[in-house]
Structure 1
Amino acid sequence: MKTAIVIPARYASTRYPGKPLAELRQKDGSAKSLIRMTWEAAQTVAGNHAIHVATDDDRIAEHARGFGASVLMTSTEAKNGTERCAETLDRIDADLIVNLQGDAPLTPPWFVEALIARMAEDREAAVATPVLRCDAHTYEMFVEDRREGRVGGTTAVFDRKGHGLYFSKEVIPYIDPGKRPDPIPVFHHVGVYAYRPDALRAYVEWPEGELERREGLEQLRFLENRATVACVEVEARGRVFWELNNPADIPRIEAVLGA
Protein backbone atom coordinates (compact mmCIF):
# COMPACT_ATOMS: atom_id res chain seq x y z
CA MET A 1 0.00 0.00 0.00
CA LYS A 2 1.12 3.52 -0.77
CA THR A 3 1.75 5.03 2.66
CA ALA A 4 2.13 8.60 3.88
CA ILE A 5 3.59 9.29 7.33
CA VAL A 6 2.10 12.43 8.87
CA ILE A 7 3.58 13.97 12.02
CA PRO A 8 0.90 16.18 13.63
CA ALA A 9 2.38 18.91 15.81
CA ARG A 10 0.77 21.75 17.73
CA TYR A 11 2.33 24.37 19.94
CA ALA A 12 -0.59 24.91 22.32
CA SER A 13 -0.44 21.66 24.27
CA THR A 14 -2.41 21.93 27.51
CA ARG A 15 0.04 19.87 29.56
CA TYR A 16 3.21 21.01 27.83
CA PRO A 17 3.03 24.18 25.69
CA GLY A 18 5.66 24.28 22.95
CA LYS A 19 6.39 20.57 23.33
CA PRO A 20 7.39 19.91 19.67
CA LEU A 21 10.20 22.45 19.99
CA ALA A 22 11.47 21.12 23.32
CA GLU A 23 15.12 20.13 22.99
CA LEU A 24 16.58 16.88 24.23
CA ARG A 25 20.26 16.26 24.82
CA GLN A 26 21.81 13.60 22.61
CA LYS A 27 24.58 11.16 23.43
CA ASP A 28 27.20 13.47 21.88
CA GLY A 29 26.06 16.41 24.02
CA SER A 30 24.22 18.20 21.22
CA ALA A 31 20.50 18.99 21.38
CA LYS A 32 17.67 18.23 18.97
CA SER A 33 14.05 19.25 19.06
CA LEU A 34 11.36 16.68 19.71
CA ILE A 35 9.81 17.26 16.28
CA ARG A 36 13.15 16.79 14.52
CA MET A 37 13.83 13.55 16.39
CA THR A 38 10.40 12.26 15.40
CA TRP A 39 10.97 13.21 11.75
CA GLU A 40 14.31 11.40 11.82
CA ALA A 41 12.59 8.34 13.35
CA ALA A 42 10.12 8.37 10.43
CA GLN A 43 13.03 8.29 7.99
CA THR A 44 14.05 4.87 9.32
CA VAL A 45 10.72 3.15 8.49
CA ALA A 46 11.29 0.64 5.68
CA GLY A 47 9.76 1.54 2.33
CA ASN A 48 9.57 4.66 0.21
CA HIS A 49 7.06 6.66 2.23
CA ALA A 50 6.17 10.34 1.95
CA ILE A 51 6.75 12.13 5.28
CA HIS A 52 5.02 15.37 6.26
CA VAL A 53 4.83 17.55 9.36
CA ALA A 54 1.25 18.82 9.84
CA THR A 55 0.96 21.91 12.01
CA ASP A 56 -1.04 25.09 12.53
CA ASP A 57 1.88 26.97 14.07
CA ASP A 58 4.33 29.12 12.10
CA ARG A 59 7.10 28.56 14.65
CA ILE A 60 6.93 24.80 14.23
CA ALA A 61 6.59 25.11 10.46
CA GLU A 62 9.65 27.33 10.15
CA HIS A 63 11.71 25.07 12.40
CA ALA A 64 10.64 21.92 10.49
CA ARG A 65 11.42 23.42 7.10
CA GLY A 66 14.81 24.40 8.50
CA PHE A 67 15.83 20.76 8.92
CA GLY A 68 14.34 19.72 5.56
CA ALA A 69 10.85 18.50 6.39
CA SER A 70 7.82 18.78 4.13
CA VAL A 71 5.24 20.88 5.99
CA LEU A 72 1.45 20.86 5.52
CA MET A 73 -0.27 23.75 7.25
CA THR A 74 -3.54 22.87 8.96
CA SER A 75 -6.25 24.85 10.73
CA THR A 76 -6.35 25.77 14.39
CA GLU A 77 -9.66 23.90 14.67
CA ALA A 78 -8.18 20.38 14.85
CA LYS A 79 -8.80 18.98 18.34
CA ASN A 80 -6.24 16.20 18.08
CA GLY A 81 -3.69 14.57 15.82
CA THR A 82 -6.26 12.37 14.08
CA GLU A 83 -8.30 15.40 13.03
CA ARG A 84 -5.09 17.11 11.90
CA CYS A 85 -4.18 14.08 9.77
CA ALA A 86 -7.68 14.12 8.25
CA GLU A 87 -7.10 17.71 7.13
CA THR A 88 -4.20 16.57 4.95
CA LEU A 89 -6.19 14.00 2.96
CA ASP A 90 -6.84 16.25 -0.03
CA ARG A 91 -3.11 17.04 -0.34
CA ILE A 92 -1.60 13.56 -0.19
CA ASP A 93 -1.97 10.49 -2.38
CA ALA A 94 -1.96 7.42 -0.15
CA ASP A 95 -3.81 4.18 0.57
CA LEU A 96 -2.76 4.38 4.21
CA ILE A 97 -1.97 7.33 6.48
CA VAL A 98 0.33 6.78 9.44
CA ASN A 99 0.05 9.23 12.32
CA LEU A 100 3.46 9.32 14.01
CA GLN A 101 2.81 11.68 16.88
CA GLY A 102 5.51 14.20 17.56
CA ASP A 103 5.97 13.30 21.24
CA ALA A 104 7.36 9.80 20.66
CA PRO A 105 10.89 10.08 19.27
CA LEU A 106 11.82 6.67 20.67
CA THR A 107 9.32 4.90 18.40
CA PRO A 108 11.23 2.08 16.64
CA PRO A 109 10.64 1.68 12.89
CA TRP A 110 9.35 -1.88 13.29
CA PHE A 111 6.38 -0.57 15.28
CA VAL A 112 5.21 1.38 12.21
CA GLU A 113 6.12 -1.44 9.82
CA ALA A 114 3.97 -3.84 11.88
CA LEU A 115 0.96 -1.54 11.49
CA ILE A 116 1.39 -1.34 7.74
CA ALA A 117 1.61 -5.14 7.52
CA ARG A 118 -1.47 -5.62 9.74
CA MET A 119 -3.58 -3.22 7.68
CA ALA A 120 -2.64 -5.12 4.53
CA GLU A 121 -4.04 -8.37 5.96
CA ASP A 122 -6.84 -7.32 8.36
CA ARG A 123 -9.65 -5.98 6.19
CA GLU A 124 -11.91 -5.55 9.24
CA ALA A 125 -9.62 -2.92 10.71
CA ALA A 126 -10.30 0.74 10.06
CA VAL A 127 -7.30 1.68 12.18
CA ALA A 128 -4.26 -0.10 13.59
CA THR A 129 -2.16 0.95 16.58
CA PRO A 130 0.73 -0.72 18.46
CA VAL A 131 0.62 -2.11 21.97
CA LEU A 132 3.65 -3.15 23.98
CA ARG A 133 3.48 -5.54 26.92
CA CYS A 134 4.83 -3.79 30.02
CA ASP A 135 7.96 -5.11 31.63
CA ALA A 136 8.42 -4.54 35.37
CA HIS A 137 10.25 -1.21 34.87
CA THR A 138 7.64 0.29 32.54
CA TYR A 139 4.80 -0.92 34.74
CA GLU A 140 6.40 0.79 37.75
CA MET A 141 6.69 4.04 35.75
CA PHE A 142 2.94 3.84 35.03
CA VAL A 143 2.16 3.25 38.69
CA GLU A 144 4.54 6.05 39.77
CA ASP A 145 2.85 8.53 37.42
CA ARG A 146 -0.57 7.73 38.83
CA ARG A 147 0.74 7.83 42.41
CA GLU A 148 2.20 11.31 41.79
CA GLY A 149 -0.96 12.57 40.11
CA ARG A 150 0.62 12.78 36.63
CA VAL A 151 -1.29 11.85 33.52
CA GLY A 152 1.27 9.75 31.72
CA GLY A 153 1.12 6.84 29.29
CA THR A 154 -1.98 5.00 28.08
CA THR A 155 -2.92 1.36 28.48
CA ALA A 156 -5.04 -0.82 26.20
CA VAL A 157 -7.20 -3.91 26.48
CA PHE A 158 -8.30 -5.93 23.45
CA ASP A 159 -10.18 -9.08 22.46
CA ARG A 160 -8.87 -12.42 21.24
CA LYS A 161 -8.69 -11.14 17.66
CA GLY A 162 -6.55 -8.24 18.80
CA HIS A 163 -9.31 -5.69 18.28
CA GLY A 164 -9.44 -2.89 20.83
CA LEU A 165 -11.97 -2.96 23.66
CA TYR A 166 -10.81 0.12 25.58
CA PHE A 167 -7.93 2.56 26.07
CA SER A 168 -7.34 4.43 29.32
CA LYS A 169 -5.02 6.81 31.14
CA GLU A 170 -5.58 4.55 34.12
CA VAL A 171 -3.54 1.38 34.48
CA ILE A 172 -5.82 -1.41 33.23
CA PRO A 173 -6.50 -4.20 33.87
CA TYR A 174 -6.25 -3.89 37.64
CA ILE A 175 -3.46 -5.88 39.28
CA ASP A 176 -3.46 -6.77 42.96
CA PRO A 177 -0.12 -5.34 44.25
CA GLY A 178 0.50 -8.48 46.24
CA LYS A 179 -0.18 -10.85 43.35
CA ARG A 180 1.58 -9.38 40.33
CA PRO A 181 1.64 -12.06 37.61
CA ASP A 182 4.47 -12.81 35.22
CA PRO A 183 4.19 -11.81 32.45
CA ILE A 184 2.45 -8.58 33.42
CA PRO A 185 -0.95 -8.40 31.64
CA VAL A 186 -0.78 -4.62 31.09
CA PHE A 187 -0.19 -3.31 27.59
CA HIS A 188 1.29 0.14 26.96
CA HIS A 189 -0.50 1.79 24.08
CA VAL A 190 1.95 3.41 21.69
CA GLY A 191 0.53 6.62 20.22
CA VAL A 192 0.99 5.72 16.56
CA TYR A 193 -1.88 5.01 14.18
CA ALA A 194 -2.37 3.71 10.66
CA TYR A 195 -5.71 4.74 9.14
CA ARG A 196 -7.57 3.93 5.99
CA PRO A 197 -8.58 7.24 4.33
CA ASP A 198 -12.30 6.43 4.68
CA ALA A 199 -11.84 5.98 8.44
CA LEU A 200 -10.31 9.44 8.72
CA ARG A 201 -13.13 10.97 6.69
CA ALA A 202 -15.70 9.32 8.96
CA TYR A 203 -13.85 10.36 12.10
CA VAL A 204 -14.24 14.09 11.49
CA GLU A 205 -17.95 13.64 10.82
CA TRP A 206 -18.54 12.05 14.21
CA PRO A 207 -18.99 14.31 17.25
CA GLU A 208 -16.52 14.08 20.10
CA GLY A 209 -17.52 11.16 22.29
CA GLU A 210 -18.11 11.19 26.04
CA LEU A 211 -15.35 8.64 26.71
CA GLU A 212 -12.97 10.45 24.38
CA ARG A 213 -13.59 13.70 26.24
CA ARG A 214 -13.21 12.21 29.71
CA GLU A 215 -10.05 10.24 28.96
CA GLY A 216 -8.56 12.76 26.54
CA LEU A 217 -7.87 9.91 24.11
CA GLU A 218 -8.70 10.55 20.46
CA GLN A 219 -8.83 6.85 19.49
CA LEU A 220 -11.87 6.28 21.69
CA ARG A 221 -14.00 8.12 19.10
CA PHE A 222 -13.44 5.16 16.78
CA LEU A 223 -14.54 2.66 19.44
CA GLU A 224 -17.55 4.73 20.45
CA ASN A 225 -18.70 4.57 16.82
CA ARG A 226 -18.01 0.83 16.52
CA ALA A 227 -15.08 1.20 14.14
CA THR A 228 -12.56 -1.63 14.49
CA VAL A 229 -9.19 -0.67 15.93
CA ALA A 230 -6.56 -3.38 15.56
CA CYS A 231 -4.14 -3.52 18.49
CA VAL A 232 -0.88 -4.84 17.10
CA GLU A 233 1.41 -6.35 19.71
CA VAL A 234 4.99 -5.31 19.08
CA GLU A 235 8.26 -6.08 20.84
CA ALA A 236 10.75 -3.59 22.20
CA ARG A 237 13.73 -5.77 21.21
CA GLY A 238 15.70 -4.43 24.14
CA ARG A 239 14.86 -0.81 23.45
CA VAL A 240 13.16 1.30 26.12
CA PHE A 241 10.06 3.08 24.84
CA TRP A 242 8.42 6.10 26.47
CA GLU A 243 6.56 9.13 25.15
CA LEU A 244 7.20 12.71 26.20
CA ASN A 245 3.94 13.57 27.96
CA ASN A 246 5.21 15.85 30.73
CA PRO A 247 8.41 17.83 31.40
CA ALA A 248 9.30 15.08 33.89
CA ASP A 249 9.66 12.69 30.95
CA ILE A 250 12.62 14.60 29.45
CA PRO A 251 15.24 13.08 31.79
CA ARG A 252 13.69 9.63 31.27
CA ILE A 253 14.11 9.93 27.50
CA GLU A 254 17.54 11.55 27.73
CA ALA A 255 18.66 8.63 29.89
CA VAL A 256 17.62 6.25 27.10
CA LEU A 257 19.48 8.38 24.56
CA GLY A 258 22.58 8.11 26.73
CA ALA A 259 22.79 11.88 27.25
Structure 2
Amino acid sequence: MRDSDTPIRVVGVIPAHLSSIRLPRKILLEIYGVPMIEHVRRRALMCEALDGVYVATCDQEIAETVDASGGEVIMTADTHMNGTSRVAEAVESVDCTHVILLQGDEPL
Protein backbone atom coordinates (compact mmCIF):
# COMPACT_ATOMS: atom_id res chain seq x y z
CA MET A 1 0.00 0.00 0.00
CA ARG A 2 1.23 3.49 -0.89
CA ASP A 3 2.02 5.94 1.91
CA SER A 4 -0.20 9.03 1.50
CA ASP A 5 2.90 11.24 1.65
CA THR A 6 4.52 9.44 -1.27
CA PRO A 7 3.90 11.33 -4.51
CA ILE A 8 2.25 9.40 -7.30
CA ARG A 9 4.65 8.69 -10.15
CA VAL A 10 3.11 7.12 -13.25
CA VAL A 11 5.28 5.71 -16.03
CA GLY A 12 4.51 4.17 -19.38
CA VAL A 13 6.44 1.11 -20.47
CA ILE A 14 6.43 -0.17 -24.05
CA PRO A 15 7.42 -3.85 -24.33
CA ALA A 16 9.11 -4.58 -27.65
CA HIS A 17 10.79 -7.52 -29.37
CA LEU A 18 11.69 -8.60 -32.90
CA SER A 19 10.13 -12.06 -32.90
CA SER A 20 6.70 -11.19 -34.28
CA ILE A 21 5.32 -14.24 -36.09
CA ARG A 22 2.81 -12.80 -38.56
CA LEU A 23 4.87 -9.73 -39.51
CA PRO A 24 8.53 -10.24 -38.61
CA ARG A 25 10.38 -7.22 -37.19
CA LYS A 26 7.20 -5.13 -37.37
CA ILE A 27 8.21 -2.93 -34.45
CA LEU A 28 11.03 -1.50 -36.61
CA LEU A 29 9.00 -1.08 -39.79
CA GLU A 30 9.04 2.51 -40.88
CA ILE A 31 5.92 4.63 -41.18
CA TYR A 32 6.72 7.85 -43.03
CA GLY A 33 10.41 7.26 -42.40
CA VAL A 34 10.11 6.68 -38.64
CA PRO A 35 10.20 3.23 -36.96
CA MET A 36 6.86 2.11 -35.51
CA ILE A 37 8.30 1.91 -31.98
CA GLU A 38 9.40 5.54 -32.22
CA HIS A 39 5.91 6.65 -33.29
CA VAL A 40 4.48 4.94 -30.20
CA ARG A 41 7.15 6.40 -27.91
CA ARG A 42 6.61 9.92 -29.24
CA ARG A 43 2.84 9.66 -28.71
CA ALA A 44 3.39 8.46 -25.16
CA LEU A 45 5.67 11.41 -24.45
CA MET A 46 2.79 13.72 -25.37
CA CYS A 47 0.81 12.43 -22.37
CA GLU A 48 1.27 14.91 -19.54
CA ALA A 49 0.06 12.34 -16.99
CA LEU A 50 3.17 10.20 -17.51
CA ASP A 51 6.30 10.94 -15.50
CA GLY A 52 8.44 8.77 -17.75
CA VAL A 53 8.29 6.59 -20.85
CA TYR A 54 10.50 3.53 -21.26
CA VAL A 55 10.96 0.86 -23.91
CA ALA A 56 11.55 -2.61 -22.45
CA THR A 57 13.32 -4.96 -24.85
CA CYS A 58 15.76 -7.83 -25.11
CA ASP A 59 16.80 -6.89 -28.65
CA GLN A 60 19.88 -4.74 -29.16
CA GLU A 61 18.61 -3.41 -32.50
CA ILE A 62 15.47 -2.02 -30.87
CA ALA A 63 17.55 -0.55 -28.05
CA GLU A 64 19.85 1.19 -30.52
CA THR A 65 16.89 2.56 -32.50
CA VAL A 66 15.22 3.99 -29.41
CA ASP A 67 18.50 5.30 -28.00
CA ALA A 68 19.32 7.05 -31.29
CA SER A 69 16.07 8.99 -30.92
CA GLY A 70 16.85 9.98 -27.33
CA GLY A 71 14.55 7.42 -25.72
CA GLU A 72 15.06 5.50 -22.50
CA VAL A 73 15.59 1.75 -22.82
CA ILE A 74 15.48 -0.98 -20.21
CA MET A 75 17.11 -4.21 -21.33
CA THR A 76 15.24 -7.34 -20.25
CA ALA A 77 15.71 -11.09 -20.47
CA ASP A 78 14.91 -12.83 -23.74
CA THR A 79 12.78 -15.47 -22.01
CA HIS A 80 9.51 -13.54 -21.66
CA MET A 81 6.40 -15.13 -23.15
CA ASN A 82 4.43 -11.87 -23.21
CA GLY A 83 4.71 -8.12 -22.85
CA THR A 84 3.27 -8.09 -19.35
CA SER A 85 6.10 -10.16 -17.90
CA ARG A 86 8.65 -8.05 -19.80
CA VAL A 87 7.18 -4.88 -18.28
CA ALA A 88 7.12 -6.48 -14.81
CA GLU A 89 10.85 -7.15 -15.06
CA ALA A 90 11.58 -3.68 -16.43
CA VAL A 91 9.80 -1.73 -13.71
CA GLU A 92 11.86 -3.39 -10.99
CA SER A 93 14.49 -0.75 -11.79
CA VAL A 94 12.11 2.23 -12.16
CA ASP A 95 11.04 4.61 -9.41
CA CYS A 96 7.26 4.65 -9.84
CA THR A 97 3.99 4.02 -8.05
CA HIS A 98 1.92 3.12 -11.13
CA VAL A 99 2.70 1.54 -14.50
CA ILE A 100 0.83 1.74 -17.78
CA LEU A 101 1.69 -0.93 -20.34
CA LEU A 102 1.67 0.64 -23.80
CA GLN A 103 1.41 -1.52 -26.91
CA GLY A 104 4.44 -0.98 -29.14
CA ASP A 105 2.74 -2.17 -32.30
CA GLU A 106 -0.22 0.22 -32.14
CA PRO A 107 1.19 3.55 -33.35
CA LEU A 108 -2.10 5.14 -34.29
TM-score norm. by structure 2 comes to 0.88
Query: Do residues 93 (structure 1) and 95 (structure 2) align?
Result: yes
- Determine which of 82, 87, 95 is the counterpart of 1:80: 82
**In 1, Cα distance between the equivalents of 2:107 and 2:46?**
12
Cα distance in 1 for partners of 2:91, 2:45 equals 21
Q: Which residue of 2 aligns with 1:22?
A: 29
SS across alignment from 1:72? strand
8 A contact 2:54–2:73 mirrored in 1: yes
1 or 2 for the larger relative contact order (CA 8 Å, sep ≥6)?
2
Per-residue Cα deviation, 1:6-31 (whole angstroms, up to 9, x for no partner): 01100011111111100112xxxxx1
Q: Distance in 2 between matches of 1:2 and 1:61?
A: 24
Kindly provide the amino acid, as one letter, of the partner of residue 9 in structure 1: A
Moved over 4 A (4+): none
> Letter of the aligned partner of 2:30 in structure 1?
E
Q: Percent identity?
A: 36
Q: Which runs of 5+ in 2 are unaligned?
A: 1-7
1:83 maps to a residue whose letter is S
- In structure 2, give the amino acid aligned to 1:78: H
Q: TM-score, normalised by structure 1?
A: 0.38
CA distance in 2, matches of 1:58, 1:41: 22
Map 1:11-50 → 2, pairs under 5 A: 11-25=18-32, 31-50=33-52
Deviation at 1:92, TM superposition (A): 0.6
Higher Cα Rg, which structure: 1
**Cα RMSD over matched residues?**
1.0
Q: How many residues align?
A: 101
Tell me how far apart the structure 2 counterparts of residues 48 and 81 of structure 1 sit (CA, whole Å): 19
The one-letter code sitting in structure 2 at the alignment partner of 1:15 is R
Shift of 1:48: 4.9
Q: Which amino acid aligns with 2:87?
A: C
Give distance in 2, aligned partners of 1:78 and 1:15.
Answer: 18
What secondary structure does 2:61 align onto?
Answer: helix
CA distance in 1: counterparts of 2:101 and 2:30, whole angstroms: 21
CA 1:48 to 1:7, structure 2 compared with 1: closer, same or farther past 3 Å?
A: closer
User: In the aligned structure 2, how far is the partner of 1:48 from the partner of 1:79?
Assistant: 26
In the alignment, what sits opposite 1:6? 13
Check conservation: 2:11, 2:53, Cα contact below 8 A: yes
